[in-house]
Structure 1
Amino acid sequence: MEGIRLVRVVKIDGDEGLLESIDGLYRRVWNQSIKERLEKHMKYDGFRGYIMKSDDDEIIGFSYGYISRSGQYYHDLLANELGPIKYEKWLEDCFEFVELAVHPNHRNQGYGTILIHELLKEVTNKTTVLTTQVNNSSARNLYQRLGWLVVKEPFVPSKNDSPYVIMGKDL
């Protein structure tokens, strides 16, 4: 049975060690910290998050999101970008899919798909939205394969950012 890994999906909670492990994975994937932002987002309405752990307790990946509300930084950025008609469709009753990260050694094995399904399976909002870099073809392919649509492209969150794409899905 060598090569087969048993994995389990666990809810993200405020455990300091867990948050440090998530931050370590995020640093490995994106070369920056997420800990402070994650701690802030954990206080938002409807926060949901999951990690995937291997049989030896290694964090393979994580995903999280929350209910998108007026007054939240990213919600307001998206609202300004989308305009009133798309706002009504995509943001009025929306779960914001904030992060998905999978360890580089564990990609293309279905773990991202599992984390996405787990995150969204009990969400009661009408829609969900996310953003990813325009040139992140592996992420875009994954989301499109799972039924996400391009809502707007390009989207440049701030003048120093690279272009992103806003994607949405009816739930």
Structure 2
Amino acid sequence: MPDDSEVTVGPLDLAARVDEALAVQAIAFGLSAEEVGVRRHIVLRHLSYPGARALGATTADGRLAGFVYGMPNDRAHWWSTVVEPYLRNNATDHWLDDTFVITELHVHPAFQNRGVGRALITTITDTADQPRSILSAIDTESPARALYRALGYVDLARQVHFPSAARRYAVMGAPLPLLRRDPADPR
């Protein structure tokens, strides 16, 4: 994927473009073909949940450079059942209620560090009816975690273990709307 294309953020029919989105995720996140196959079923199931929606960052020729999807959180969903004990231990489990969860956000490496991830997450959360957002990210210092912090996300729980993941995660939450970067700030 060339790195000189501009992208446009807008609605994405994720079910129709799930394989293309997962190809972006596989490159950005380092997934194996087996992991992609498992995630395909998960994404399609998530899209059936009430309020689930997706946005894509597409190039001028229609290729997907990044995507985000999320939904209103439901404590009965698998993700919530895993993170709830960690949040409860930190007295932050109320973040699971009346919250828009960012389920996945991935940008192809050729388009990273250009504001694409920021545009995707702020655009999708700007349309949320909930007063806050929650997400999980690998619990290490990374450009993704720095972006989330710049948008107002704070750590609610760390060292969260998902049964299917080798790495530990942090659960982060932010009030909505997300913070916007001051144009005078060079970061």
Structure 1 length-normalised TM? 0.89
SS of the residue corresponding to residue 100 of structure 1 reads strand
* Aligned with residue 92 of structure 2, among 59, 68, 86: 86
Matches within 5 A, 1:2-13: 5-13=5-13
**Identity level (%):** 23
SS of the residue corresponding to residue 105 of structure 1 reads helix
* Structure 1 residue 69: Cα displacement: 0.7
2:181 maps to what in 1? none
2:114 maps to what in 1? 109
* Structure 1 residue 45: Cα displacement: 1.7
Contact residue 91 and residue 127 of structure 1 kept, 8 A: no
1:140 partner amino acid:
R
Alpha carbon RMSD of aligned pairs, Å?
1.9
1:20 maps to what in 2? 19
2:13 partner amino acid:
D
Contact residue 132 and residue 164 of structure 1 kept, 8 A: yes
* Aligned with residue 127 of structure 2, among 97, 122, 130: 122
| Structure 1 residue runs of 4 or more that deviate by more than 3 Å after TM superposition | 3-6
Contact residue 156 and residue 172 of structure 2 kept, 8 A: yes
* Structure 1 residue 70: Cα displacement: 2.1
Contact residue 50 and residue 64 of structure 1 kept, 8 A: yes
SS of the residue corresponding to residue 92 of structure 2 reads helix
* Structure 1 residue 158: Cα displacement: 2.5
Separation in 2 of the partners of 1:124 and 1:144? 22
Structure 2 length-normalised TM? 0.82
Matches within 5 A, 1:61-76: 61-76=66-81
Q: Does 1:39 align with 2:51?
A: no
Aligned residues: 167
Gaps of 5+ in 1: none
1:95-149 superposed Cα distances (whole Å, 9 cap, x missing partner)? 1111110001111000000001111011011221111111251111010011111
Gaps of 5+ in 2: 177-187
Separation in 2 of the partners of 1:133 and 1:15? 25
